[in-house]
Structure 1
């Protein structure tokens, strides 16, 4: 009998539970409230807030922001037995029913905090039937949520008048502080308003609010809820509250993150409020001064080199400036990078042993298979050291180095650094890439320079601190699935960006050392005379047509990237990196890194010193009296010997030179002659600069072949181009230029067209002729027996 009763009780319990489970599934809780997306700074303060989809300010209050004072004030005011009941307080219901029936005391609804949450989640007309539904929902809420979570829901939903809901929204919009920073007086103020949000309006009825606040404070004092001194201070605290605008710092990053993580109520970024505010102000004020020059926009990115956290993000000078397209995000806009990729190219060349800082490169007009680069000032120096070529951003030496490094090697490294446009266009890119003939963003370039600042180690830039969002981003690859979504801390579009060693620490140090030697326009006497200002390495860039001005700098702590221009793409005569972008870069560094320790990079152990010839930067040869010290990578840097001067056997009168096959027994002398590269020699002669060639070779010598006299330089035709196609107009007397580059020992060359002799000319003479149509063979021979051929196609229209 007892067993049957027990079984019946068990069956009844199970049936009841199943019924409750079925009802819970049939009548699920209403969806979670739709919060206003907010973007936080690294310290947790609110940078930017948005209206929720229903156009309300409903910012989510986190559990950690609900202070003990706020909990006590709300619970003692609204529901003293909140922690003990299951959503409904039977005693309160009986008391309320008695008061309402017998009309004694204040009419109440006996609503618990949980019941109020149910009503706020599903607003309904206040009827007896709906009250019963509230009770059922309250019980359901208690089954699904903890007390702390129910209190959190309540504080996120309570009304504060107008379109403001939730304690956090009210705290930020009226007191400009998060709930956890409020005083006791402010906390109690926010606790009393939800009961009468239309009567107690902050900013309008402050006197009435103070009276109601103080009444509750005295009641709390009688209940010994707070220390007497805290109550006394709160009673004397004036109420200085008025409606403020929602926080709007970092609008571009805020919209980017909210788009990237839809439905996320709180996104904690890596930005720091102080640097962000200062960067926005400096950028806006600086661009205001540029408007008369036809320049309307700028973008800035500030990166912490040690963590790769983005600490300031400015997409435009003024987000609200619709006339200048202020809502465009200049940090992610794809633009021509100008010369900003040159430091990275030279670093790659250092790692491949191609260059060292003191090595001299030809800086002469050069045709690279149809591509004729020019320096920014249209002039050439003949020969320049690598460090000078980089410091003055010379184009011709950079293209020469890229030709030697190889375009695929260069673009593959840029792809590894997250350059999306370069990755897409890589098969079609050529030597112009290093001069800005590709697309890049400020974010990509700043990340690349941060790698140079960190010994060549590349790591993705971090934009968010939320660990759960990082994991979500890594797992789903959100950026690759959403149009126009930029790189996130883990994934960057369709490219998987991981930590990688782009260049060696030695190469990164050498490039940093060169870039730090530039004279800063804000400190013409050197940064050492201003010990409070930071030392930086920096590089500028200007795109074709003066449409984009770049300046990117770094030290041990920060990398700052600056772009200045117009989002419309319109150029300006004043738009250059050095003149327009750099002043803002230095203002930012001097503000954000003022009085910093100025720790600087030290040479890694893989670097060493060696003596090189002053004239060429190569390992000294037999005739190199002038030498200097240069860095190099043992086992990697080229060990080619210098031959800038060569010895020749000259007749007593200096009229001719002998080779070893025709040198007489007597009547000659040994003499050193300059031995520059043929293109450098030709440039010096065309510019009227001092230059000298070897005397003519002994005409009586019958054994002249190739390099018997020690000449180690080949003959090269510089015009026309090999395997090129030329179109001539039949109606015009157009002619083709013939020119060559030859060694200093060459005095005369001989030109042939389709194996027919054309004419003899001086080695530096420019020869013109009208070519026949069709396939044409051009040949050139010098007076030392060397010859070279090229093929081209000529058409007449």
Structure 2
């Protein structure tokens, strides 16, 4: 109708619009398109008001279907009420995140039993200006996984029986070719229970567990549980796979956790496994006809392994706003895990109950990292607000048919050895009966006072007292003692008794055997030095250092030195004052003369 639609339209300049409309009606009447009664009725019709904006509760989901199902009529699985409330929660948190220039966040909520997506917030930003990539669908985008895959590794170890739930795992300085993992707080505990390492998301124990399980088996497990984004070989990912060396999407990640919960829930109700239990999340309404279920004898993860993993994940420290949650009966029972990618680029949080699973991501769509962009500070608060919105019900039942009671060493968490003085009974996967027996309790020989170690060469056999002793390797012991004052070190050998060689007294912290070391230059242009370090059970002992059979120096108490050497292969030899000797071969590469 109007010649200037930007100035005259429903809701703006209504009087001008009405005048033009009436003039057109009269012209049509004069040309006998309708009679006088129709003209009178038409002139009395009110003008339409300004149109309401089109609803955009899930714009990224709409775009997804426009690209993948163009021209089709789609009935989504989205629950409008949950979608709207979840969007408001993300908007509230996004305002806080924007204060730290964290400009994007995303969230997804799915039903465990059906896998139907109930809420899909593909990208939440504060300002829709186009400056923060708000049109990018983060839920479908591949991002570095950080620590978010650790529960799947833990569950794999439980199912295979390679590790019991609370078995000690080394948490010491570790070096691999081109890779030196560090814990988030850069500390070392010496040794920690596997379940504690999972709940506290310790990186070094996670790498040690992957080394035990093998990257090949873990990569195969990821693919079996539903991940499709890990397309490279295990050699390509290596041990870094457990710390964010691969990428996945929030959609796939949430779908896998939903499948794990579905497996546990289905087994508890039917005592069976089915092949269709592991499937991607569903964005559309599904056929209500019950599909024919095919039983499966060997699922990727067993119900018992999943249950043990969830029990560990319930102990994860919650965000600051949730402190003291364990004292309230109304708090949500939820198994959850966070992840933070290298460079503080991605913050993940995923949580599950028997009824629903929630996935949250926070960060910058363009990949910019930000200080403080971690799973626990950026993503976890959103997760718990969404969990509070969804409510909680009864927790998963224990799959007792798949669990067995195993006698384990109280100190090490390994299957009890005859030398373990204190044992406890724990519930574990049946395959745990094949797990390694406690390697840390050894029988040592003491004199009658129990102050000295002795042997048959210096004390009559009748005066020797045999006792079981908890003995960690020297490096593990060095860091473990700092956090465990109750740890008892080995008594020294009595004067005149030759120390036995069965129990090593010292160990290299750095370098590790066979390591290849690149020597860079510092800011002055000078070559930096290699800093070897030794852990000795008795730090007061003198250690004599030799490089390639040439004496270097002597250390007491602090067994750390600096060496500057030429490129090539070298052997570092250390001898203590009692004659104990250790050697370590390493290579220097890339040093510029």
TM-score norm. by structure 2 comes to 0.78
Q: Which residue of 1 aligns with 2:367?
A: 569
Q: Distance in 2 between matches of 1:374 and 1:626?
A: 33
1:692 to 462, 465, 489: 489
Q: Distance in 2 between matches of 1:577 and 1:373?
A: 18
Judge conservation of contact 1:324–1:567 (CA < 8 Å) in 2.
yes
1:579 to 374, 377, 398: 377
Q: Which residue of 1 aligns with 2:101?
A: 294
Q: Does residue 683 of the first structure (1) align with residue 479 of the second (2)?
A: yes
Cα shift readout 1:302-351 (whole Å, capped 9, x = no counterpart): 11111111121111115944232211111012222221111111111112
Cα shift readout 1:719-766 (whole Å, capped 9, x = no counterpart): 155141433669847543333456789967665433556566669722
Matches within 5 A, 1:520-599: 520-521=318-319, 522-526=321-325, 529-531=328-330, 534-591=332-389, 593-594=390-391, 596-599=392-395
Q: CA offset at residue 403 of structure 1?
A: 1.3
Q: Which residue of 1 aligns with 2:402?
A: 606
Judge conservation of contact 2:531–2:560 (CA < 8 Å) in 1.
yes
Give the 3-state SS of the residue equivalent to 2:206 in structure 1: helix
Q: CA offset at residue 572 of structure 1?
A: 2.9
Q: CA offset at residue 583 of structure 1?
A: 1.7
Give the 3-state SS of the residue equivalent to 1:422 in structure 2: coil
Q: Which residue of 2 aligns with 1:312?
A: 119
Matches within 5 A, 1:357-376: 357-376=165-184
Q: Distance in 2 between matches of 1:714 and 1:760?
A: 15
Q: Which residue of 1 aligns with 2:533?
A: 739
Q: CA offset at residue 556 of structure 1?
A: 0.8
Q: Distance in 1 between matches of 2:79 and 2:345?
A: 31
2:243 to 435, 443, 454: 435
Judge conservation of contact 2:348–2:375 (CA < 8 Å) in 1.
yes
Q: Distance in 2 between matches of 1:253 and 1:575?
A: 26
306-315 or 414-423: bigger deviation:
414-423
Q: Which residue of 1 aligns with 2:278?
A: 458
Judge conservation of contact 1:300–1:313 (CA < 8 Å) in 2.
yes
Q: Distance in 1 between matches of 2:171 and 2:202?
A: 8
Q: Distance in 2 between matches of 1:728 and 1:276?
A: 53
Q: Which runs of 5+ in 1 are unaligned?
A: 1-161, 164-194, 210-238, 468-497
Q: Which residue of 2 aligns with 1:724?
A: 516
Q: Distance in 2 between matches of 1:747 and 1:603?
A: 53
Q: Does residue 769 of the first structure (1) align with residue 563 of the second (2)?
A: yes
Judge conservation of contact 1:305–1:558 (CA < 8 Å) in 2.
yes
Q: Distance in 1 between matches of 2:423 and 2:388?
A: 39
Matches within 5 A, 1:705-724: 706-707=501-502, 711=503, 718-719=510-511, 722-724=514-516
Q: Which residue of 2 aligns with 1:632?
A: 428
Give the 3-state SS of the residue equivalent to 1:301 in structure 2: strand
Q: Distance in 2 between matches of 1:723 and 1:388?
A: 29
The 1:721–1:200 alpha-carbon spacing in structure 2 relative to 1, beyond 3 Å, is: farther
Q: Which residue of 1 aligns with 2:5?
A: none
Q: Distance in 2 between matches of 1:752 and 1:664?
A: 38
The 1:462–1:746 alpha-carbon spacing in structure 2 relative to 1, beyond 3 Å, is: farther
Give the 3-state SS of the residue equivalent to 2:562 in structure 1: strand
Give the 3-state SS of the residue equivalent to 1:366 in structure 2: coil
Q: CA offset at residue 519 of structure 1?
A: 5.1
Give the 3-state SS of the residue equivalent to 2:153 in structure 1: helix
Judge conservation of contact 1:694–1:745 (CA < 8 Å) in 2.
no
Give the 3-state SS of the residue equivalent to 1:323 in structure 2: coil
Q: Distance in 1 between matches of 2:549 and 2:584?
A: 10
Q: Does residue 283 of the first structure (1) align with residue 90 of the second (2)?
A: yes
Could you say what the CA RMSD is over the residues aligned between the two structures, in angstroms? 4.0
Judge conservation of contact 1:654–1:695 (CA < 8 Å) in 2.
no
Give the 3-state SS of the residue equivalent to 2:71 in structure 1: coil
Give the 3-state SS of the residue equivalent to 1:267 in structure 2: coil
Judge conservation of contact 1:459–1:499 (CA < 8 Å) in 2.
no
629-638 or 650-659: bigger deviation:
650-659
Q: CA offset at residue 628 of structure 1?
A: 3.5
Q: CA offset at residue 439 of structure 1?
A: 1.6
Q: CA offset at residue 413 of structure 1?
A: 2.2
Q: Distance in 2 between matches of 1:500 and 1:334?
A: 30
Give the 3-state SS of the residue equivalent to 1:642 in structure 2: coil
Give the 3-state SS of the residue equivalent to 1:424 in structure 2: coil
642-651 or 303-312: bigger deviation:
642-651
Larger Rg: 1
The 1:668–1:287 alpha-carbon spacing in structure 2 relative to 1, beyond 3 Å, is: same
Judge conservation of contact 2:146–2:340 (CA < 8 Å) in 1.
yes
Q: Which runs of 5+ in 2 are unaligned?
A: 1-8, 11-32, 265-276, 288-295
Q: CA offset at residue 251 of structure 1?
A: 1.0
Judge conservation of contact 2:161–2:430 (CA < 8 Å) in 1.
no
Judge conservation of contact 2:145–2:339 (CA < 8 Å) in 1.
yes
Q: CA offset at residue 642 of structure 1?
A: 3.1
Cα shift readout 1:489-522 (whole Å, capped 9, x = no counterpart): xxxxxxxxx9993321111111111112335445
Q: CA offset at residue 377 of structure 1?
A: 2.0
Judge conservation of contact 1:718–1:741 (CA < 8 Å) in 2.
no
Cα shift readout 1:161-188 (whole Å, capped 9, x = no counterpart): x99xxxxxxxxxxxxxxxxxxxxxxxxx
Q: CA offset at residue 438 of structure 1?
A: 2.1
435-444 or 374-383: bigger deviation:
374-383
Cα shift readout 1:45-88 (whole Å, capped 9, x = no counterpart): xxxxxxxxxxxxxxxxxxxxxxxxxxxxxxxxxxxxxxxxxxxx
2:572 to 770, 778, 790: 778
Q: CA offset at residue 622 of structure 1?
A: 4.7
Q: Distance in 2 between matches of 1:581 and 1:623?
A: 46
Q: Which residue of 2 aligns with 1:329?
A: 137
The 1:758–1:453 alpha-carbon spacing in structure 2 relative to 1, beyond 3 Å, is: same
Cα shift readout 1:365-422 (whole Å, capped 9, x = no counterpart): 3323453222212223333222211111111111111111112222222233444442
Q: Which has the higher helix share?
A: 1
Give the 3-state SS of the residue equivalent to 1:355 in structure 2: coil
